[in-house]
Structure 1
Amino acid sequence: MSSANVLDVRGLDWGAVADAVANAIDGERAERIIARMEERLAGGGPLGLAFEESAAGPDDKAIQVGEDWPVGEVWFVGDLHGDLLALEAALQHIDRSGGGPDSRIVFLGDLFDDGIHAAEVVLRVFELLLDGPMRITVVTGNHDEGLTFRDGRFESSVIPSDFTDWLNEQSGSGHPWADRLGRVIIRFFARAPRALFFPDGLLVAHGGIPHTDLHAELAEKGDFNDPRVLQDFVWLRAHPRARKRIPNRTTRGSEFGREDFAAFCALATRLGRPLSRMLRGHDHVEDRFADFPAWSAHPALTINTLGHRLPREVFGPYERVPVIARWVRGELPEVRRLFIPPELTRQVYPEPAAAEEGS
C-alpha cells in the first residue's frame, strides 16, 4: 500500500504521441539543437536550467531551492533510458494538466542506455531546455555521468553502455552529428545538478544521499559539493527494508537504509536545509514506482518513466506503466501512472523474442 497519492491517466491523444515518436528528431533539426547547445555551453555562463537562480554559484550542484522561487507546478520524470514513447506521453500529460508559465519539469537522470531512441530522447530534452529557459532541469544519473571521451573514443563506466557503442559506430554513417552530440552530453552533465533541496523538505536526486561515513565531515564543513557527496547523490541505492547499511567505498553503488536517511535528514536540517523525504529514480521497480512502508518516518519515493521491460529486467510483463510525479507541498509527490495502450508499446518497441520469431 503506497503512502503516495496515485492517479491513473488513460485518456491521452495516443495518435499524437505516436506521431511524435514517428517524427523523432533527426537530420537538420538535430544539428540545429546541437549547435544551440554548443553555443549555450560556451563561455561557462548560465545554462538556463530550472532553479539555476537558486544556485550558490556556477559550481553549485546541490542546489537549495529558495523560498521565493515562482511557485507553480513541478513535474518529475524518472529514468527514461531511451524510451521516447514514454517521454512523449509524459510531455503531453504535463501540457494538458496546465500549470502556466511558472511550471517546471525535473528529469531524474539516466536519459540513455538500454533504449533504441537514446539520441532522440536526449535531443528532445535539450530542445525543451533551449525553447523553455528556466523551465527544465536534469539531475544527473549514473549513466549520464558515466559517459566520457578519451583517446578519440567515447567510453562509459557503466553497463549496459549501448549508447556509447552507438556513438562510436556513427563515424561516416547517417548521423554525422553523433560525435558532436556525445561531446555536448558530456559537457552538459559536467555542469548539471546532482541534487535539489526544496524548501518544503523534499530532496530530489537520481540515486541516494551522502552515506554515513561522510556525515561528520559534512557537519564540520557544510560542503554539499564535496565530490564524494555529489557521487552519492548519483550512485547510492535505497534498501527497502534495512535499517542501516555499511558504507562500501569499493563500489559507487552501495546501499543506504532508512536510519541512514533519517540521520542525513537530521544533519541537513541542522545545516539549514530542512529535509524530511526524498524522490529518486535509479532502481527499476516493476510497478515503476515504490515507496517503502518501513520508511514511514522519513519516506522515499522511487519512480521510473519506462513503458516496457528493459533487456536486463528478467521478470514481469513486457508492457509497463510509466510513472511521472507532481510536486505537492509538504508531502510525497503525487504519482501519475500513464497507461500507454499495449499495442502502441509493442508497435514502437517489439518484444525481442517476438521479433525473432517473426524474422
Structure 2
Amino acid sequence: MDGELVEPPEPEDAATSAEVPAPPAPVEGELQEAPAADADAPAPPSLIPIPPVVDVHDLAWDDIVASLQVRALRGRMRATVEQLEARLDSEGGLPLLFDEHRASPDDRALQLTTVSDAPIWFIGDIHGDLLALDAALALIDREAAREHARPRIVLLGDLFDDGGYELETLLRIFELMLEHSPSVCLLAGNHDEALGYNGARFTATVSPSDFSDLLNANLAHEWIGRTGKLAVRLVAQAPRALFFPDGLLAVHGGFPLTDLHEALAQTGNWNHPQCLTDFVWSRAHPRARRKMPNRTTRGSQFGYEDFAAFCALSATLGRPVTHMVRGHDHVDERYEIYPAYADHPVLTTVALSRRLVRELFGPFVRVPTVARWVRGSLPQVYRLHIPEAHIRSCYPEAIGEDEPPTSTTGGAT
C-alpha cells in the first residue's frame, strides 16, 4: 500500500540463529549440571508413539497422470474464481475445516477443543507440484473409500513458488474448497503469507517469488489476476496454528520462540503478530539443544530444548503441546522425524516429487510424503512412490540430477 513500509524480500537461507553460548568453565567444588545428551546418539523411546512409515507403491499412477488436466483447470478458471468469490462474499461466507473453533473472527491460533476420529490428512509444502498433490488426493480418496469415511485435509502451506504448476495447483485447491469446504483447512505458509497485492501489482517479501512474477506478467489477464487476489484474501484469513486436544501442534514453521515466552505467559495472547510470525516462519534445527532467536530475520531457528520449553509453557496456558507436525524445511527424504526431539517428537513432511532448483544436492526424483493424524501419536507418514518416468514427464524443464544448478536463489524453504 502507498506509504506502507514494505520489507524487502529475504532469501530463505539467510535465516540463521546463533546457538546459545557454551557455559563458562566449571569452578572447582561448584555443583555442575550433567552434560547434555549427544544429539547424534540413539534417542531414548518417546512417550509419544511414532507409527511405522507406510510406503505406497500401488496407486493407479497412469490414471493420476492422465487426469492432471492442466489445460482443463485453466479452462475452468473463470467459473472456479467466480464461485469462490461469491461464496466468500455471501452472508455465510466460506466455512472451512475447524473454523468453528475460532475464538473470534480474527483468531489465527485455533484451539481445537474436540476432534472426531474421522480421518485427517496433512499435506506439507507443495510449491506447484500438481502431480504430488493429485497423488496425495488419490491416496486419501482410496483410503476414504475403504473406510467409508469422509476425509479431512489440512494443507500445511507453501502452495506456490519454485516453478511447477503454480497457478493450476492453486486452482485445484480452490476446487477442493468449493467441493466441500468444511473438509479443507489451509494453514498459511511463509510463501503464501509473503504474497501481496498493492492495488496495482503483486508483491512478495520472500525469495524465490516466481508466482508473483507470473501474476505480474499476466496483469492484463483478468482471471489470472483475480486468482492471485483470491489467494491473498484466503491466506489473510487462514489460521497460523492448530492446537489439537491430544497435544499435537500443526503449523507450517514452528512456535513462538523463547524470547516471547515471558510476555506470552503474562498475556496468553497467541495472536500477537510476532507469535503468528513464528508459527509460520521459524525453522527446526535437527540437532541443536537451543538456538538464540535472531530477530533480524523472520526465519529464526529453534532447538529441541526450545520446543520442550514451549511445551511446558503451553501447558500452563491451557493448550498443552506434546508433539508437532510441520512443513517448511525441504528435507531430502521429504519427511524427517528428528531423533534429538525424542521427548517431544517433531515431524516435518513435504509433498515434493522433484528436486527444486534451489536444492543444490541430491537426486532430481524424490518421494513426496503426506501424513495421517493418529490420536495421541505422531502423525503416520505415507511415502508416495510415483514412478520416475511420470515425474520427469511432468517436469521436463527441471534440472537433471547430473546437471549443475543454474540458480542458487533461496536456501532451505
Relative distance call for 1:228 and 1:43 in structure 2 (3 A) is farther
Q: CA deviation at 1:27?
A: 4.0
TM-score, structure 2 as length reference: 0.82
- Percent sequence identity is 51
Relative distance call for 1:226 and 1:43 in structure 2 (3 A) is farther
CA distance in 2, matches of 1:187, 1:112: 15
Specify the SS of the correspondent of 1:325: strand
CA distance in 1, matches of 2:67, 2:275: 38
Amino acid at match of 1:15: D
Contact 2:357 2:399 in 1 (8 A): no
CA offset digits 1:6-57 (Å, max 9, x no partner)? 0100111112211222445434411111112212222685432111111112
- Higher Rg of the two aligned structures: 2
CA distance in 1, matches of 2:173, 2:137: 10
RMSD of equivalent CA atoms: 1.8
Q: CA deviation at 1:128?
A: 0.6
Specify the SS of the correspondent of 2:206: coil
Q: 1:323 corresponds to which residue?
A: 369
Q: 2:307 corresponds to which residue?
A: 261
Contact 2:373 2:379 in 1 (8 A): yes
Contact 2:51 2:378 in 1 (8 A): yes
Q: 1:164 aligns with which of 193, 212, 232?
A: 212
Q: 1:155 corresponds to which residue?
A: 203
Q: 1:120 corresponds to which residue?
A: 168
Counterparts of 1:228-247 in structure 2, within 5 Å, are: 228-247=274-293
Contact 1:70 1:102 in 2 (8 A): no
Amino acid at match of 1:19: A
Q: CA deviation at 1:292?
A: 0.8
Q: 1:21 corresponds to which residue?
A: 68
Amino acid at match of 2:160: F
> Which has the larger displacement, 25-34 or 147-156?
25-34
Q: 2:28 corresponds to which residue?
A: none
CA distance in 1, matches of 2:199, 2:97: 34
Whether 1:133 aligns to 2:181 is yes
TM-score, structure 1 as length reference: 0.94
Counterparts of 1:1-359 in structure 2, within 5 Å, are: 3-42=50-89, 46-67=93-114, 69-98=115-144, 99-150=147-198, 152-172=200-220, 176-350=222-396, 352-353=398-399
Contact 2:119 2:149 in 1 (8 A): no
CA offset digits 1:59-79 (Å, max 9, x no partner)? 111111122x33210000010
Specify the SS of the correspondent of 1:8: strand
Amino acid at match of 1:20: S
Q: CA deviation at 1:102?
A: 4.4
Q: CA deviation at 1:170?
A: 1.1
CA distance in 2, matches of 1:188, 1:249: 27
CA distance in 2, matches of 1:32, 1:71: 34
Point out which structure has higher relative CO (alpha carbons under 8 A, 6+ apart): 2
Question: Structure 2: any 5+ residue segments left out of the alignment?
Answer: 1-41, 44-49, 404-413
Contact 1:284 1:304 in 2 (8 A): yes
CA distance in 1, matches of 2:270, 2:357: 35
Relative distance call for 1:43 and 1:211 in structure 2 (3 A) is farther
Relative distance call for 1:270 and 1:24 in structure 2 (3 A) is farther
CA distance in 2, matches of 1:345, 1:314: 19
Contact 2:64 2:134 in 1 (8 A): yes
Question: Structure 1: any 5+ residue segments left out of the alignment?
Answer: none
Relative distance call for 1:27 and 1:321 in structure 2 (3 A) is closer
> Which has the larger displacement, 1-10 or 131-140?
1-10
Q: CA deviation at 1:338?
A: 0.1
Contact 2:194 2:204 in 1 (8 A): yes
CA distance in 2, matches of 1:330, 1:259: 21
CA distance in 1, matches of 2:219, 2:200: 11
Specify the SS of the correspondent of 2:336: strand
Relative distance call for 1:354 and 1:285 in structure 2 (3 A) is closer
CA distance in 2, matches of 1:219, 1:257: 20
Q: CA deviation at 1:100?
A: 4.1
Relative distance call for 1:353 and 1:221 in structure 2 (3 A) is closer
Amino acid at match of 1:61: R
CA distance in 2, matches of 1:233, 1:209: 5
